[in-house]
């Protein structure tokens, strides 16, 4: 089970695919994106930080 499931991070099902091998990085990216769309930029930054901080090389170029 991924962190935050069933909590304030459950913002819906909208997703935007990123190139990563980590399901956790994808979840944190989607959460950040949903917070951006909800105009809560502080929470979005925190989620994007989790995506990048907890998972090395979250986005593969």
Torsion of CA 11, 17, 18, 19, to 10 degrees: 140
From residue 21, alpha-carbon distances to 17, 26, 43, 55 in Å are 11, 9, 24, 10
Q: pLDDT tens-digit profile of 16-38?
A: 998 888 888 888 889 889 989 88
Residue 5: predicted pLDDT: 54
Query: What share of the chain has pLDDT > 90, as a percent?
Result: 8
Provide the pLDDT confidence category of residue 61 given band limits of 50, 70 and 90.
Answer: very low
pTM of the predicted structure, to 2 decimals: 0.69
Domain boundaries, the chain: 23-54
User: What does the alpha-carbon distance between residue 10 and residue 48 come to, in Å, rounded to a whole number?
Assistant: 15
Are 8 and 22 in contact by the 8 Å Cβ rule? The answer is no
What rounded mean pLDDT belongs to the chain? 76
């Amino acid at each position: 089970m991924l962190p935050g499931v069933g909590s304030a991070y459950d913002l819906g099902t909208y997703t935007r695919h990123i190139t990563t091998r980590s399901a956790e990085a994808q979840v944190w990216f989607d959460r950040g994106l949903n917070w951006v769309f909800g105009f809560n930029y502080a929470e979005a930054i925190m989620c994007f930080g989790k995506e990048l901080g907890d998972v090395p090389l979250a986005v593969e170029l």
